[in-house]
Amino acid sequence: MDEQVVTEETTAPEPEKPSKDFLDRTWDFFASVPVAVVLLFIVAAASVAGTLVPQEGMYSDWRTPSEFYPFRYGAFWGNLLWKTGMTRMYTSWWFMGLLFMVGASLIICSLERFIPLWKAVQRPNIAPPSSFVKHLKNRFEYKPVAGAEALAPLAAALKSAHYTVVQKDGRIYADKGRWGRWGPYILHIGLIFILVGAMVRVFPGAYMDQFIWVQDGEIAKVPGANWFVRNDKFTLETYENGQPKAYKTQAVIIEADGTESKEHTISMNLPLQHKWIELYQSSYKNEVGTAVVSLTDRATKQQIGTFTLDLHQPETAYKVGAYTVKINEYFPDFGLEGGKPVSRSSQVNNPGAVLEVIGPDGKAYKNWYFVAYPEMEFDPTTPVTLGTEEVTERYTTGLKVKKDLGIPVIWFGLIVVSLSVCVTFYLPHRRYWALVEDGRVFVGGWTNRNQTSFGDEMNRLANRIDPKNNPLQTVVEGEER
Amino acid sequence: MIGLSGILFFVAFGVYAVSALLYIARITLRRSSAKNFTLADKLGDWGFWLCTAGVVAQAAGIVFRWVGSGVVPMSNMYEYMSFLGWSVMLFFVLISYWYKLPGLGAFVAPVGVIMIAYASVFPTEVKPLVPVLQSFWLPLHVSTAALGEGAFAVSFGAALMYLLRIRKDGALSAFEEKMLEFIGFSATVLVGFVVVALGSKWTGYQAILTNSGNGAQSLKYTLPPLVGPVGSVAGEGSLFGMDLPLFIAPGWMNGANAGKQFNTLIWAILVGAVIYFILRILVGPLRELGSKAVMGMNAKLLDEVSYRGIAVGFPLFTLGGLVFAMIWAQKAWGAYWSWDPKETWALISWLFYSGYLHMRIVRGWEGRPAAWVSAAGFPLILFTLVGVNLLISGLHSYAAG
Ligand code: HEM
C-alpha cells in the first residue's frame, strides 16, 4: 500500500491522551492489528495442539479419560493435560477465551477503522495538494492539445473504463471498485455471524444431538419433538464387488394427531428435515425377522404345511391345516445357564422355542425347535418333524436426530463470507486524481491491490491519451525476470 | 476414455518435466554469459508454451476420466493429487503470464512435477463411491480447495525467491539462513519420498511382518523394512540377503500402521539426504544456488507475486476448504464442524494465511516476515494433505488411498 494514502486514509487520528484508564487501554489493545495477527497465530497453534493430543471421545481405548491420559502419557503429563483441558481442547475455557478475544479484536478493530475509511472512500478528497498527486507511485503526465479542454480526454477514457468520474474546479477524481474496500469489513461481520451461530447451542432447547433405532415397519418417537417417524423400509444397496452403494430409509413423519405429514427417503447426504429437526442416515443393523416353519410327517416324509413365525413377537399359537402349533416357551437368544435354558438377551440372535404340536386326533407332542438348527431335536419320536424353510431378515435403521437453531445463522455467515472474500480480493479499488499545472496535466493513481496490473492499465491509458510522451512499456528493460 | 485420460496424464507429466528442465536451463544459461541471453529466453518461452500445453492436456484428461467413469474424478488420492498438481501448474502459467516472470518457472514448475509424480504412486483405477462420498459437494469442496492450494504453491515459490534474493543484501539472520537451507533439505526429502514411493511401486517389493500394534496381526510392507512394527523380528524381510528389520519401532508407536509409516519416513529421509549431499558436493549449499538463480531479479516484484498468489488463492481456499466443507459435513454427518484432524488442519492453514494477510497491513511486517509466513504456509498445506493422513487419522482417512 502506498504510504501516503495509508496515513491519509486509514489511520484514525488519535491524539495521545495524558492518562488512559483500563478500559481505554483494553480498547487500544484490541484495536491493534499486530495484536490481531498474534491472536490468529495463537489460535492456529492451539488448534495444532488439539490434533496432537487424542481428544476425549476420539481415542479408541476402553479407559475413561481420567485413567486413559495418565496411562498414555505417564501420571504427571497425563494429569496435566487432562486438568488443563488439553484433552477437550476445543471446548476448554481457554480456547473459548481465545476465540472470544479474536471476536473482540475483530469487532473493535473494524469499528476503529470503519469511520475514517468510510469518509475516505465515500467522501474522497477531490482536490488534494498537488504534491500528493505528483508523488504517487503510479503517475503520468500529458500535454493537452492546444485549445481543447485539458481534462476532457482523460475523463472520457476513464468513463469508458467504467470509472465513476467527478470533475470539479479543474480537477478530476475517478474511482471504481469501492465495494472492494468494504469487503474485509463485511467478511469480518460474516465471521462474527459464524461465531454467534456456533454459540446458539448454549441456549436451552436450541441444540440436540440424539440417536434412534427404528425397525422396519415400526414407529418411533422423535426425541425432543411431539411427532413420530415410521420406517417403512430400510434398504442396503451394494455394488457388484460387495462395497456398499447406498443406505436408504423410507421414512414417514407422523404428527401427534396421527396424520402422516411428510414422506422422504433418507439417505447419506440427504437428511429429512421437519420442524427444525433433521434426521440423518447414520447406521443400521440387520436381524432375522420371521421364519417360515414347516411341519412334516415323520413316517411318510410328506409335508403337512407351513406357518410364518414372527421371531420378535411370536403368536401363542399357529394353525397349520388340521394341526395347531402352540408356542409354549420362546428364547430369542437361546443359551444354557446352570443347565437351564435362558435367553441371553432380547435380541433375536439364536431363537429357540418349545413347541407343542396338536394333531387332528387331539394328541399333543412337545419338542424343541431351533430356527437355525431344526435338526436338533430333543424327542426324535414325535410323529411330526419341524423344519426351517426360509428366514427373512429385518433391518433396523439408525437415525441421528439433530437440532441446531444456529444453522441458519451459520449458513448466512457462510454466504456473507463467501461473497465478501471474493469482493475483497477480486475487486480492487482503483482511484485517479488529476490536475492541471503549468499547461500540463498531472495524473496520479492508487490502488489497494494488484499494483502491477494497475500500472499496466495506467500505462495504456496514458499511451491512449498522449502516445508521444507515454510510450507503451512492455517488459522492464535491464531487469532480470 | 479412461485409458485415454491415463495417456493424457502421462503426456502432461512428461511435458511439465521437460518444461521445468527448460526453465532451469534458462536460468543456468543466463547466469553463464550475456551471449546466451537470446537462447536462454527462447528456452523460457518454450517452457511456458509446453507448460500451457500440459495444463490443457491434463485438463482434457480430467474431463475424459470424468465422462468415462461417470464419477467426478475427485475421490481418491490419485485423482486428488494430480488435480492439485494441475492447479499448481495452472496458477504458475497464469501468474508467470501476468507478471512476465519466467524466472518463477525454475522454482514452481518442479513443485508441480513432484506433485504429479506423487499422484502416480497411488492406484489409478476408478472405484465406486461409498455412500458418504456421493454428493456434489465433494468435488466442489475438493476442487476449489485444491485450486486455492495451487495458488498458494506459487506464492510459496515466489516467497522463497524473494528471501533468496534479499539474502544477498545481507538481510537475513544466521538463523534464517539455516532455515532457508533447511527448506532446501526438506525439498530433497520430499523428492526422496516420491522416489521411494515410485520405486516400491515399480519394483513391487513386499514383505509381510508380524504386527502387534492396534488392529492388525500382520502388516504388508512395500518398502524394505528397516524398522519393523512392534512385535516383528529380524529375518521376516530381507534386502539383498540382509536380514531385516534392523530394529523394531519403539513401543509407543502402537498404531496399526505406525511402524510402517515410520519406516517410510526413514527411507524418505535417507534417500533425500543422499540427494542433498550429492547436490551439496556438486553445487554447494542450496541457498547459494538459489540466490544465484534469482540474482538481479526485482525483490519488490517477487514480493508482490508472492502476495498475489495468496490473494488469488485465499478466496478459493476459503470457499473450498471451509465453506463447502462445512456445508457437506452438515449434509453428510449432521455436524458442520466436528474438529476432525483434517478439518482442524484446514482451519489452521486458513488462520495462518489470514495471519499473513493481516501482516501485510502492518508496517514493518509486510516484507520479510510475511515472506517467511508464506514460505511456511505451503508446507503446512502439504502436511494437511499428506501428513495428517499418514500420522493422524480421522473421518477423512478414505484419502489414505
Ligand atoms: C483477530 C481478529 C481480526 C482482526 C482484528 C482483523 C482486522 C482486520 C483489519 C483491521 C483489516 C484491514 C481492513 C482494511 O484494509 O481496511 C483486515 C482485513 C482483512 N481481514 Fe481481518 N481481522 C481479524 C480476523 C480475520 C479473520 C479470522 C479473517 C479470516 C479470513 C480475516 C480476513 C481478513 C481479510 C481477508 C482482510 C483483507 C486483507 C487485505 O486487505 O489484504 N480477518 N482485518
Q: What is the pLDDT of residue B394?
A: 43
Q: Is the pLDDT of residue B254 over 80?
A: no
**Does A90 contact B339 at a Cβ distance shorter than 8 Å?**
yes
Index of the ligand 1 atom closest to the CA of residue A31: 5
> Is pLDDT larger for residue B372 or for residue A6?
B372
Q: Is the pLDDT of residue B371 over 80?
A: yes
Choose among A50, A244, A452: nearest Cβ to B99.
A452
Q: What is the pLDDT of residue B255?
A: 64
What ipTM was assigned to the predicted interfaces of this complex?
A: 0.89
* Count of Cβ atoms closer than 10 Å to residue A37 Cβ: 24
Q: Does A183 map to a domain?
A: no
Strand order in the sheet with A260-267: A219-221, A228-238, A244-254, A260-267
Pairwise CA distance, residues A217 & A232, whole Å? 5
Both A219 and A350 in one domain: the answer is no
How confident is residue B226, by pLDDT bands cut at 50, 70 and 90?
confident
Choose among A48, A270, A282: nearest Cβ to B348.
A48
Question: How many residues are given for chain B?
Answer: 401
Q: Does A422 map to a domain?
A: no
Both A277 and A293 in one domain: the answer is no
Pairwise CA distance, residues B370 & B357, whole Å? 8
Whether residue A39 has its Cβ less than 6 Å from ligand 1: yes
Pairwise CA distance, residues B51 & B43, whole Å? 12
Both A333 and A384 in one domain: the answer is yes
Q: Which of residues 401-420 of A touch B (CB under 8 A)?
A: 402, 407, 410-411, 414, 417-418
Whether residue A120 has its Cβ less than 6 Å from ligand 1: no
Cα dihedral sign, B119-B122-B125-B127: negative
Return the amino acid letter for A347: Q
Q: What is the pLDDT of residue B252?
A: 64
**Does A425 contact B332 at a Cβ distance shorter than 8 Å?**
no
Q: What is the mean pLDDT of chain B?
A: 88
Q: What is the pTM of this model?
A: 0.88
pLDDT per position as a tens digit, A22-37: 888 999 999 999 999 9
Which of A51, A181, A397, A429 to substitute to test the interface with B, most B CBs within 10 Å? A51
Mean pLDDT of A240-245: 86
Q: Which residues of B touch A224 (CB under 8 A)?
A: none
* Count of Cβ atoms closer than 10 Å to residue A138 Cβ: 18
Choose among B30, B135, B358: nearest Cβ to A40.
B358
Separation of CA A187 and ligand 1 centre (Å): 8
Q: Is the pLDDT of residue B401 over 50?
A: no
Q: What is the pLDDT of residue B70?
A: 85
Q: What is the pLDDT of residue A16?
A: 56
Mean pLDDT of A117-130: 91
Choose among A47, A243, A414: nearest Cβ to B128.
A243
Both A26 and A94 in one domain: the answer is yes
**Does B101 contact A476 at a Cβ distance shorter than 8 Å?**
no
Which of B330, B374, B384, B398 to substitute to test the interface with A, most A CBs within 10 Å? B330
pLDDT per position as a tens digit, B295-311: 889 999 999 999 999 99
Q: Which residues of B touch A112 (CB under 8 A)?
A: none
**Does A239 contact B330 at a Cβ distance shorter than 8 Å?**
no
Pairwise CA distance, residues A117 & A306, whole Å? 86
**Does A241 contact B365 at a Cβ distance shorter than 8 Å?**
no
Q: What is the pLDDT of residue A10?
A: 45
Q: Is the pLDDT of residue B399 over 60?
A: no
Pairwise CA distance, residues A121 & A123, whole Å? 6
Both A293 and A387 in one domain: the answer is yes
Q: Is the pLDDT of residue A264 over 70?
A: yes
**Does A55 contact B333 at a Cβ distance shorter than 8 Å?**
no
Whether residue A191 has its Cβ less than 6 Å from ligand 1: yes
How confident is residue B126, by pLDDT bands cut at 50, 70 and 90?
confident
Q: Which of residues 101-120 of B touch A (CB under 8 A)?
A: 101-103
Mean pLDDT of B36-51: 92
Asked which of A114, A136, A162 is the last residue of a domain, the reply is A114
Both A375 and A401 in one domain: the answer is no
Both A34 and A90 in one domain: the answer is yes
Choose among B351, B358, B363: nearest Cβ to A43.
B351
Those residues with Cβ within 8 angstroms of residue B237's Cβ, 6 or more apart along the chain or in another chain:
B207, B208, B209, B221, B224, B225, B228, B244, B245
Whether residue A36 has its Cβ less than 6 Å from ligand 1: yes
Q: What is the pLDDT of residue B209?
A: 79
**Does A280 contact B333 at a Cβ distance shorter than 8 Å?**
yes
Q: Is A265 on the interface with B (CB under 8 A)?
A: no
Q: What is the pLDDT of residue A55?
A: 84
Return the amino acid letter for B197: A
Exposed/middle/buried for A207, CB within 10 Å: 0-12, 13-18, 19+?
Answer: middle
How confident is residue B51, by pLDDT bands cut at 50, 70 and 90?
very high
CA-proximal residue: ligand 1, atom 34 (nearest): A184
Q: Does A35 map to a domain?
A: yes
Q: Is the pLDDT of residue A346 over 70?
A: yes
Both A227 and A280 in one domain: the answer is yes
Parent domain of A215: 203-286+397-409
Both A276 and A223 in one domain: the answer is yes
Q: Please provide the DSSP assignment of A156-171 as one string.
A: HHHHHTT-EEEEETTE
How confident is residue B5, by pLDDT bands cut at 50, 70 and 90?
very high
Nearest Cα residue in chain A from B102: A481
Separation of CA A101 and ligand 1 centre (Å): 14
pLDDT per position as a tens digit, B196-217: 989 888 888 888 777 766 656 7
* DSSP code of residue B34: G
**Does A425 contact B312 at a Cβ distance shorter than 8 Å?**
yes
Q: What is the pLDDT of residue A133?
A: 93
Mean pLDDT of A347-352: 87
Which of B137, B165, B323 to substitute to test the interface with A, most A CBs within 10 Å? B323
> Is pLDDT larger for residue A425 or for residue B261?
A425
Mean pLDDT of A230-257: 91
Q: What is the pLDDT of residue B176?
A: 95
> Is pLDDT larger for residue A222 or for residue A62?
A222
Min distance A440 CA to chain B CA atoms (Å) = 31
Whether residue B361 has its Cβ less than 6 Å from ligand 1: yes
Pairwise CA distance, residues B291 & B27, whole Å? 11
Nearest to A398 by CA among A238, A159, A136, A214: A214
Q: Is the pLDDT of residue A474 over 60?
A: yes
Exposed/middle/buried for A77, CB within 10 Å: 0-12, 13-18, 19+?
Answer: middle
Q: Which residues of B touch A479 (CB under 8 A)?
A: 296-298
Pairwise CA distance, residues B174 & B172, whole Å? 7
Q: Is the pLDDT of residue B24 over 90?
A: yes
Q: What is the pLDDT of residue A17?
A: 56
Structurally, chain A folds into a number of domains equal to 4
Pairwise CA distance, residues B9 & B144, whole Å? 20
Min distance A28 CA to chain B CA atoms (Å) = 15
Choose among A60, A411, A481: nearest Cβ to B101.
A481
Both A299 and A390 in one domain: the answer is yes
Nearest Cα residue in chain B from A283: B333
> Is pLDDT larger for residue B32 or for residue A265?
A265
Index of the ligand 1 atom closest to the CA of residue B360: 41
Min distance B4 CA to chain A CA atoms (Å) = 25
Nearest to A183 by CA among A431, A454, A419: A419
Mean pLDDT of A243-254: 92
Q: What is the mean pLDDT of chain A?
A: 88
Exposed/middle/buried for B38, CB within 10 Å: 0-12, 13-18, 19+?
Answer: exposed
pLDDT per position as a tens digit, A283-315: 998 888 889 999 998 889 889 999 999 888 889
Both A96 and A135 in one domain: the answer is no
Q: Which of residues 381-400 of B touch A (CB under 8 A)?
A: 388, 392
Pairwise CA distance, residues A142 & A439, whole Å? 9
Both A294 and A387 in one domain: the answer is yes
Q: Which residues of B touch A449 (CB under 8 A)?
A: 311
Those residues with Cβ within 8 angstroms of residue B196's Cβ, 6 or more apart along the chain or in another chain:
B223, B264, B267, B268, B271
Whether residue A409 has its Cβ less than 6 Å from ligand 1: no
* Angle at alpha carbon of residue B355, lines to B349 and B360, rounded to 5°: 130
**Does A40 contact B98 at a Cβ distance shorter than 8 Å?**
no
Largest Cα separation within chain B, whole Å, is 65
Q: Do B301 and B329 form a contact (C-beta atoms < 8 A)?
A: no
pLDDT per position as a tens digit, A72-113: 888 888 888 888 888 888 888 889 999 999 999 999 999 999
Mean pLDDT of A337-345: 88
pLDDT per position as a tens digit, A3-17: 334 434 444 555 555
3-state SS assignment for residue A291: strand
Q: What is the pLDDT of residue A263?
A: 93
Those residues with Cβ within 8 angstroms of residue B8's Cβ, 6 or more apart along the chain or in another chain:
B57, B58, B60, B61, B64
Cα dihedral sign, B62-B68-B70-B71: negative
